[in-house]
Amino acid sequence: MDPQSTIILGKAIGAGLAMIGAAGGGIGIGLAVGGAVQAMGRNPDHTPTIQTNMILGVAFAEAVAIYALVVSLIILFVLS
């Protein structure tokens, strides 16, 4: 295997490992929304407060997934 192929292989593996963070973001969003829906079902009077906190938590979880995507793209296309 020539050195160029080894570099491409390493970049592909590194980018794949960097995307593990996106799976964590998806799991976090699912748990947050599921818990919020249960809480709103049990106490409908507090729906606006629960919904606001849920949206804020989902935004933070999604930000982590986007950061993982950016790192993966940097590994693939910027690093030589």
pLDDT at 21: 85
37: in domain: yes
What CATH number corresponds to the domain at position 60?
1.20.20.10
- 70: which 2 tokens? 């950016």
pTM, entire model: 0.79
Q: Which residue has the tokens 């296309």?
A: 77
Q: Encode pLDDT of 54-78 as tens digits.
A: 999 999 989 999 999 999 999 999 9
50: in domain: yes
Find, among 15, 19, 12, 16, the residue nearest to 64 by Cα: 19
Find, among 75, 78, 80, the residue nearest to 17 by Cα: 75
32: in domain: yes
Domain membership of residue 57 as a residue range: 15-77
Q: Encode pLDDT of 15-59 as tens digits.
A: 999 999 888 888 989 999 999 999 999 999 999 999 999 999 999
3: in domain: no
Q: How many domains does the chain have?
A: 1
Asked if residue 27 lies in contact with residue 61, where contact means CB atoms within 8 angstroms, the answer is no
Helices 20-42 and 3-18, axial angle in degrees (round to 10): 10
5: in domain: no
